[in-house]
Amino acid sequence: MIRCVAIDDEPLALRQIADYIKKTPFLELAGQYESALDATEILESLHVDLMFVDINMPDLNGMDFVKTLKDPPMIIFITAYKEYALEGYNVDAIDYLLKPISFADFLKSANKAKKYFGVARHQTYGVLDSREYLFVKSGYKMVRICLNDIIYIEGMREYVSIHLLTGKPLMPHISLNLLEQQLPSGKFMRVHRSYIVNLEKITTIDHSRIIFEDNVYIPVSEQYKEPFQKYLNSHTL
């Protein structure tokens, strides 16, 4: 399932997109919002794969909102103005829907997102054997990394920084959300919007911080505290 949110300041248009999402078997509606600011909290606390967002909204328009996101999901823009299409593609939007939107047009865009979602999860820099290793593209090379060698992963604007037991961090051009989907959940856990840690490498926890060697402190944010605490409880005497 592809987890979605819909954002549109027009209540009727928002309701229509939400209904279309509910009618589409491979989509799951995680929330619907009449402003981009209202959607910020769920994007910080819940993994979202796809966002349907109107461009023309007061306070913060959809285009500017997407540009503020550190690790944006797939984007399908919605608007009544055709001239925004080119700019939408400049921020790597999956597609562009022009109002009024028919279900046929919506489904065509949703299928594009589904295809991209499926390809992205199996690209060559992704996990080839989730139990042992992955390949990442570093510069012009493909580098094989043993999962056991990963200490933690930090998300950046357009890259992730993979910190290893030895050597310099690798910085492939991939989103933290996409990488999270490909890592085995029993071994790795998202503990912050910007961090994934290797659970097997944790030796010290001080309040809400995971401490690795070399004075590296990884915060456990409020949004991810509950699953992390469950993990700790299951491994505490």
Last residue of a domain, one of 63, 92, 120: 120
Whether residue 30 contacts residue 67, with contact meaning beta carbons closer than 8 Å, is answered with no
- Per-residue pLDDT, 127: 41
Last residue of a domain, one of 92, 120, 148: 120
Is residue 147 predicted with pLDDT exceeding 60? Answer: yes
Is residue 86 predicted with pLDDT exceeding 80? Answer: no
Residue 33 shares a structural domain with residue 134: no
Going by C-alpha positions, the residue among 186, 22, 20 that lies closest to residue 103 is: 20
Q: Alpha-carbon dihedral of residues 56, 59, 61, 65, nearest 10 degrees? A: -160
- Per-residue pLDDT, 88: 45
Residue 93 shares a structural domain with residue 190: no
Q: Domain span at residue 33? A: 2-120
Is residue 129 predicted with pLDDT exceeding 60? Answer: no
Higher pLDDT, 120 or 185: 185
Q: How confident is the model at residue 20 (pLDDT cuts 50, 70, 90)?
A: very high
What is the arithmetic mean of pLDDT over 106-131? Answer: 66
Last residue of a domain, one of 120, 139, 161: 120
Q: How confident is the model at residue 107 (pLDDT cuts 50, 70, 90)?
A: very high
We report the CATH number of the domain holding residue 86 as 3.40.50.2300
List Cβ neighbours of 158 (8 Å cut-off, separation of 6 or more): 173
Residue 179 shares a structural domain with residue 227: yes
Q: Any idea which residue has 């999956």 for tokens?
A: 94
- Per-residue pLDDT, 91: 59
Residue 210 shares a structural domain with residue 115: no
